Structure 1
Amino acid sequence: MKIALSQMQVIPGSPEKNLATIKDTIAQAKQNNVDLLILPELCISGYMLSDMWLVPSFVEEMHGYNEVMREASDGIAIAYGNIVLDKQINTRLNDSAHHPNKDGRVRMYNAVCVVQNQQWVKRAKHSQYLPDGIQPKTLLPNYRFFDDQRYFFSLNDVALDMGVSIEDLAQPLLLEHNGKQVKIGFQVCEDLWCKDYRKDGKALNMSRYLINNGAELLINISASPWTNQKHDARDRRIEFLAQDVDQFVPFYYVNNVGPQNNGKNIITFDGGTTVYNAQGMPVQCSQKSFAPDLMFVEHEQLPQQKAVRSEPGKIEQKYQAIQSGLRYIKDMLGFEDDPKFVIGVSGGIDSALVVCLIEQAFGQDNVWALNMPTKYNSSATQNVAKHIADKLGIKHLQIPIQELTDAQMDVFTKLDEALPSPEWMRKLSDENIQAKIRGTSILSNLAGRYGRFFTNNGNKLETALGYATLYGDVGGVIAPIGDLTKAEVFEMARFMNEHIYQDEVIPHSLLPNELFEFGEGDIAPSAELREAQLDPMKFGYHCALLEKFTSFAKTSCEDVMQWYLQGSMEENLGISTALIQRWGVDEPASFVEDLEWFARNIQRNVYKRIQSPPIIVTSPSAYGFDIRESQMPWRTSERFNQLKQQVLKMEKYNPG
């Protein structure tokens, strides 16, 4: 049996474009004498559509495409992902009972649909509980940015409603091949990530149920987002499945590519389509990441050797994810052509990296670099902005804003005479006037005037600490580096110089040494809103803290203080003793003061993050709808206060 696995790009909310891709793929499969074509999860509609899944007319339209797919299966079998509205459930059950979705609507499955020769395929064991040719997703993820339980009815829900076992519903489907029936077990995405879903003291393992019911091979159709080292994570999951059954069978995994979004996050999909043998070993895989691919497999002649595939380093993978997310903008907005951009380039490292990322995604003709100096901006940073623009071959614009700043300052100086305010508030407001002029008065208006977009250039550390001006640099259509720590910004800048450009496009003067120190003549990070201003973050150290604070299993201040007492900061944060000493947090009082400042600022700036533009996800936990936050005061627990007193009694941090 010849099988084709389509690692297709799925454009969410664009069924016509997706169907055109699918029909081309079907034609190509038929030309290659394919018996079974496998397409990804929700490949017609897209997966991350938020509450579009609650719009009846849209859902009806998506369901209607199942007939289009059935008709397209003449001479071939097709397994694809789509929603199924179970409208005939009362007819099949011969009852008048109420069998709704959990929200009271018509029951809706996120399912693998299987058609062959214009017919819905049958089950190995007939069941009146489900329509022919469909297998609903069993495990509905409800973590990170996944909301499946909000919209869909699972196979497990069906079992509960009908009073039958999930094992009995996990039946293979029967495909005709050379006059014989082949029993194939179908599952959807999360069904293979089953180790942490439990039933009767074991993993709720659809693979085990399907194999026990006679499946000769397994097929998983996915819309599984990229994360760093995702290939390794998938392989380990399949290894678990193989160990959890008495006799495993070949396993076919098909994933989509192309970003999707939930309004606040842009999530990328890398593919990773792979065939595993009966020992759970990967033996054939797509060599394309973040790109479409069509892979052909002779099922009876699977390779015996383990497949060789390279997995780039973390920063290169994050670079690929950001590029994929940026190129998605035209699809996200329904444009036929790539958008044009004007980027505020201050001469600092963040905007330097962003303008390079945008140039790589859209080409030099689609990018302008805009520098907006005041009296506080040094000639060094202004020269850096021009240097980068010249190296990239993009238009360089400079619009000084000192006169606009002075004009606004005059207004508020007069107002202060009648309405006095604390000096620290006036100084902060005076600084932020510059940022607001840049972001709102100049950058956004210039973008609107010339039909261009502008970006948010903030990194994850700035986003966390609120080191940005609302209605100033908190704006734009997208935040390309909003999920990169400052340490990763420096690392990606080096990567681009060395591997993308093979040239010093981003000046070395913007890049620190391994302890994040800047030498004489270098340009340390600064907002340049006042004289001799430097960013208040402890780079490297705060970056490591933030990664722990925002990891999937989130670290608390109490955890960090416990590490400090144990002398295990290096091990737990992945940093050196030298970096701890460089920032002075080996002094217990300084450590506590800094930790409180760090945690307090993260909590007090939730309101800014709520209003920030979409962030491209590059970490296991990104701000947006990945990390869901409520506005509330920062507080300390009793344990925090106890640990604080213990730390303050220390003379010095003692590593190890």
Structure 2
Amino acid sequence: MIKIALGQFEIKPGHPDLNTNRMLEMIQSAKESKADLIVFPEMAIPGYLIGDTWEQNAFLRDCEYYGKKIIAASDTIAIMFGNIAVDWTKKNTDGRVRKYNAFFTAYKKNLIQSPASPYPFIIKTLQPNYRAFDEERHFFSLPKLADELKTDIADLTSPIDLCLNEQTLRIGCLLCEDAWSDDYTFTPLALINKNHDVDLFINISNSPYTLGKNNKRNRVFSSHAKSNNAPFIYVNNIGIQNNGKTIYTFDGSSTVYDANGKIIAMNEPYTNQLNIVGIPLEGEPSLPAIKVNEDTDIANIYTALRYGIKNFLQDIHMEKVVIGISGGIDSAVAAALYASILPPENVLLVNMPSIYNSNTTKDLAQDLAKNLKCLYTIMPIQDSVDTTVNQIKTTPIQNLSNNTTFYLDVSSFVTENIQARDRSARVLAGIAASFGGGFTCNANKSETTVGYSTLYGDQSGFLAALADLWKFQIYDLAYYLNQVIYKREVIPQETIDIVPSAELSSNQCVDEGKGDPIKYPYHDYLFRAFCEHWNRATPEDILTWYKEDLLEEKLSCEKGLIQKYFSTNKEFIDDLERWWNLYSGIAVAKRIQAPPILAISRRAYGFDHREAQNGAYYTAQYRALKKELLK
């Protein structure tokens, strides 16, 4: 049995100095605990999501410099770690210097080289080019190198031999995606195993949290261990990283699978932890399996949100926040989240009523602030809205070419937008600056999908923490905050019960049961099919499923909703086209200008969901189906 230390720590993207110092501290602790080997995550020194910083040669040299410090620390312990590797004599296909996403193994102050590799490090084979990942933009992969050298990939792939504790181990080294090979034409794990008996597989990762992904990883990696009859070690990092528009949490959850596929050790999620595990090798008794919780429930969502918000606030050095609260569910959940992270005196809740806000919601906003013990103020906006409307209506517009004038009319719809912008661009922005903090964007994913928001109004803020949660998840989170986190009713039950409404006109009166045009029990699932399904649904798919009476099954929504909401084919098609036109149209422009979004789902808006302003498109098959159904 060998003692392996899982070096799970918070990687600071773009700060190799801080990351190296943390690694050296963990190496020293591992030495004191008599560990034989310590393993760190992928890209442990530079971080992973750092944009085009990879194009800075000075930064690359710095990463090499800090990598040598880690190698020098391997005098009495073997060290495996991820770093950028640079071949200064060659170029990438973009003409810049050659860079590899690399797996280094150091022992006795030297790098251990695989017999098959032309370099003293392992090169990542499978480079993800989906979601947030853009590795092909910066890194040269092993298949490209094989093609350049005119050789087979298998000829460049083999385990490394590492002598630890007087026994030589053959270790298969995998970088993150190399163990997720189902959708690729070859399997790195199989290539390593092809002509070699492997004693142990180690996967170093820089893998962001996604709801449900740990469950899948445990199934996949357990199968790898069992089918190859060798223990499998997965080491991931914690922290947050971003690509400018989307913020990802990294949960760690580093795991050890024995040769039978049983989970025998797992690091605590979101925790800096040096976990030293005795790894049973062939012929040695296995350790007992440990219980692993499912990661698909609302508790995991809350943990990821709280961790992401807290770390983002720390990274941008923001200690105070201002939250506009309406008495509705979204702002209430946002307030309860931030109040669980910051001292109550650092959270200022602002209610900004107009003539359309009911006493019901105004009272609920005050109850929320009282329950959370946060700072609270009421700042009515009606006078300023009236001033803006009157100014627009009474200020002449001149046509200087023919010396004529006219006046603009302000519709009720425009007045709604003026209210929303007045709240955010004027009141919240001004209060936040005076309070010494930032103001939040409380939009959910349903609203973000179809642009049910106002540019420079409720679409504004420094962070959209809830914008990757569907409305049903917002409600689940409200119950969880009350029942588990606060253990009392901080979000009033009436806030949960009232109809969701923007309260921007008399047509949205909550006391009369009038609310948003979005039918959340159905539209949440329709919109999710637009953006989250791996094969994203289009109107053609939706109409096909509708015609075949399979839509509710395909969307995974409640049965009977289609019949409940739509009495004719025309009503259904009109509704579908309304939201598709918005999703593909003005909502794109709004998303481009939206605040950064904290990612939870399998696809969050921002850089995770790349889109262009091309307008709505309907396929020929859709048009034929529509014609048939409308006969």
* Matches of 2:326 and 2:162, distance apart in 1: 61
> What residue number does 2:458 align with?
473
Cα distance change, pair 407–318 in 1 and its aligned pair in 2 (3 A): same
* Matches of 1:59 and 1:463, distance apart in 2: 38
Q: How far 1:268 moved relative to its partner?
A: 1.3
Secondary structure of the residue aligned to 1:107 is strand
Q: How far 1:37 moved relative to its partner?
A: 0.2
Task: Name whichever of 179-188 and 39-48 sits farther off.
Answer: 179-188
Aligned positions of 1:554-573 closer than 5 A: 554-573=536-555
Q: Would you identify which runs of 4 or more consecutive aligned residues in structure 1 move more than 6 Å?
A: none
> What residue number does 1:320 align with?
303
* Matches of 2:131 and 2:481, distance apart in 1: 30
> What residue number does 2:52 align with?
51
Aligned residues: 612
Q: How far 1:208 moved relative to its partner?
A: 4.1
- Post-superposition Cα deviations, 1:217-240, rounded to whole Å, max 9, x if no partner, equal 111100111122222211232255
Matched, 1:218 2:201: yes
> What residue number does 2:180 align with?
193
Cα distance change, pair 126–570 in 1 and its aligned pair in 2 (3 A): closer
- Post-superposition Cα deviations, 1:394-420, rounded to whole Å, max 9, x if no partner, equal 100111122211211121110378445
Q: How far 1:210 moved relative to its partner?
A: 4.2
Which of 365, 369, 391 aligns to 1:385? It is: 365
Equivalent residues of 2:209, 2:251 under 8 A apart: yes
> What residue number does 1:643 align with?
625
- Post-superposition Cα deviations, 1:492-522, rounded to whole Å, max 9, x if no partner, equal 111211221222211111224xxxxxxxxxx
> What residue number does 1:276 align with?
257
Q: How far 1:382 moved relative to its partner?
A: 1.3
Matched, 1:626 2:619: no
> What residue number does 1:115 align with?
106
Equivalent residues of 2:72, 2:109 under 8 A apart: yes
Matched, 1:160 2:147: yes
* Matches of 1:339 and 1:122, distance apart in 2: 47
Q: How far 1:182 moved relative to its partner?
A: 2.2
Q: How far 1:365 moved relative to its partner?
A: 2.9
> What residue number does 1:329 align with?
312
Root-mean-square deviation (Å): 1.9
Matched, 1:257 2:238: yes
Secondary structure of the residue aligned to 1:196 is coil
> What residue number does 1:352 align with?
332
Cα distance change, pair 180–503 in 1 and its aligned pair in 2 (3 A): closer
> What residue number does 1:496 align with?
481
Secondary structure of the residue aligned to 2:230 is coil
> What residue number does 2:157 align with?
170
> What residue number does 1:654 align with?
none
Matched, 1:137 2:118: no
Q: How far 1:211 moved relative to its partner?
A: 5.9
> What residue number does 1:311 align with?
294
Secondary structure of the residue aligned to 1:80 is strand
Q: Which amino acid aligns with 2:53?
A: M
Structure 2: tracts of 5 or more residues without a match: 398-404, 509-514
Which of 362, 384, 400 aligns to 2:342? It is: 362
Structure 1: tracts of 5 or more residues without a match: 90-98, 513-522, 650-656
> What residue number does 1:234 align with?
217
> What residue number does 1:516 align with?
none
> What residue number does 1:463 align with?
448
Which of 538, 559, 575 aligns to 2:519? It is: 538
Task: Name whichever of 367-376 and 527-536 sits farther off.
Answer: 527-536
Secondary structure of the residue aligned to 1:542 is helix
Equivalent residues of 1:211, 1:248 under 8 A apart: no
- Post-superposition Cα deviations, 1:266-285, rounded to whole Å, max 9, x if no partner, equal 11112221111223332322
Q: How far 1:248 moved relative to its partner?
A: 3.3
Secondary structure of the residue aligned to 1:497 is helix
**TM-score by structure 1 length?**
0.89
Secondary structure of the residue aligned to 1:227 is coil
> What residue number does 1:438 align with?
423
Which of 541, 554, 579 aligns to 2:561? It is: 579
Q: Which amino acid aligns with 1:497?
A: N
* Matches of 2:87 and 2:314, distance apart in 1: 31
Cα distance change, pair 164–313 in 1 and its aligned pair in 2 (3 A): closer
> What residue number does 2:275 align with?
295
> What residue number does 1:450 align with?
435
* Matches of 2:428 and 2:285, distance apart in 1: 56
Secondary structure of the residue aligned to 2:6 is strand
Equivalent residues of 1:208, 1:241 under 8 A apart: no
* Matches of 2:20 and 2:365, distance apart in 1: 44
Task: Name whichever of 446-455 and 386-395 sits farther off.
Answer: 446-455
- Post-superposition Cα deviations, 1:442-483, rounded to whole Å, max 9, x if no partner, equal 111221222101111111111111111111111111101101
> What residue number does 1:617 align with?
599
Q: How far 1:67 moved relative to its partner?
A: 0.9
Which of 406, 412, 415 aligns to 1:427? It is: 412
Equivalent residues of 2:247, 2:597 under 8 A apart: yes
The percentage of counterpart residues that share the same residue type is 37
* Matches of 1:223 and 1:210, distance apart in 2: 24
Matched, 1:397 2:377: yes
Secondary structure of the residue aligned to 1:63 is helix
Q: Which amino acid aligns with 2:580?
A: A
Q: How far 1:648 moved relative to its partner?
A: 3.1
Equivalent residues of 1:207, 1:218 under 8 A apart: no
Equivalent residues of 2:521, 2:558 under 8 A apart: no
Task: Name whichever of 480-489 and 426-435 sits farther off.
Answer: 426-435
Q: How far 1:319 moved relative to its partner?
A: 1.4
* Matches of 1:291 and 1:302, distance apart in 2: 29
Cα distance change, pair 139–544 in 1 and its aligned pair in 2 (3 A): same
* Matches of 1:62 and 1:122, distance apart in 2: 20
**TM-score by structure 2 length?**
0.93
Secondary structure of the residue aligned to 2:10 is coil
